[in-house]
Amino acid sequence: MSKTQPAYFFGYGSLVNLATHQFCDAHPARARGWRRAWRHTKLRPVAFLTAVPDRTCTIDGMIAHVPGDDWQALDAREHAYARVKACDDVEHALDHNPSVAIYAIPHDAHGHPDATHPVLLSYVDVVIQGYLRAFGESGAQRFFDTTAGWDAPVMDDRAAPVYSRHQVLSPEERSFVDDALKRLNVTLIDPHPV
């Protein structure tokens, strides 16, 4: 990353939920040429989101300043990803031109989720809560529309959340998530050790 430009990252999943981190100077943004996808890697026991190149797609997210322009802590949080320079892909309302990166799993390092490595409902809840708060219902629906891999099984861990940054949803937020997953015909599976 350039030494002369402040360092920002583009978050497109749980990082959109400002309750899950303390990164300052967060702003809504959009990344052109990317789509989210549910993937699994051997670096984590459950599936999670990655960004995959897609010229036909634009995704909403948040950009936030990397504290001290030092990527080390964020790289540790996002340890299963590679950091990809994305300055030309990200639209934002900042009055300066930061250096922006997006985290994505390297193409040859991920596979599709399965019942052994499912998506966590507690993770979906956190992500959608963030999108509802930052972008409203239409933005949260765009999240579902611009994310691939909804054929992945989703483990219903709400009663005992596995995701370490889980949040409590309001009844309205919970209903929004449940209704969206139902429309997508997502398969919910019972909790199991991960």
Question: What is residue 138's three-state secondary structure?
Answer: helix
Mean pLDDT of all residues in the chain?
Answer: 92
Per-residue pLDDT reduced to its tens digit, 13-44: 999 999 988 887 899 999 999 999 999 988 78
Q: What is the structure's pLDDT at 163?
A: 95
Q: What is the structure's pLDDT at 77?
A: 75
Confidence category of residue 3, pLDDT binned at 50, 70, 90: low
Q: What is the mean pLDDT of residues 177-191?
A: 97
CA angle 145, 133, 92 (to 5 degrees): 75
Q: What is the structure's pLDDT at 79?
A: 80
Per-residue pLDDT reduced to its tens digit, 44-58: 899 999 999 999 999
Q: What is the mean pLDDT of residues 108-129?
A: 93
Indicate if the pLDDT at residue 175 is higher than 90: yes
Confidence category of residue 4, pLDDT binned at 50, 70, 90: low
pLDDT: is 101 or 108 the higher one?
A: 101
Q: What is the structure's pLDDT at 2?
A: 42
Q: What is the mean pLDDT of residues 168-179?
A: 98
Neighbour count for residue 15 (Cβ, 10 Å) = 25
What is the model's pTM? Answer: 0.92
Q: What is the structure's pLDDT at 70?
A: 79
* CA nearest neighbour of 86 among 49, 34, 39: 34
The CATH number of the domain covering residues in 7-189: 3.10.490.10
Distance CA 194, CA 191 (A): 9
Task: For residue 147, list its beta bridge partners.
Answer: 36
Distance CA 137, CA 118 (A): 25
Instruction: Check if the beta carbon of residue 7 is closer than 8 Å to that of residue 101.
Output: yes
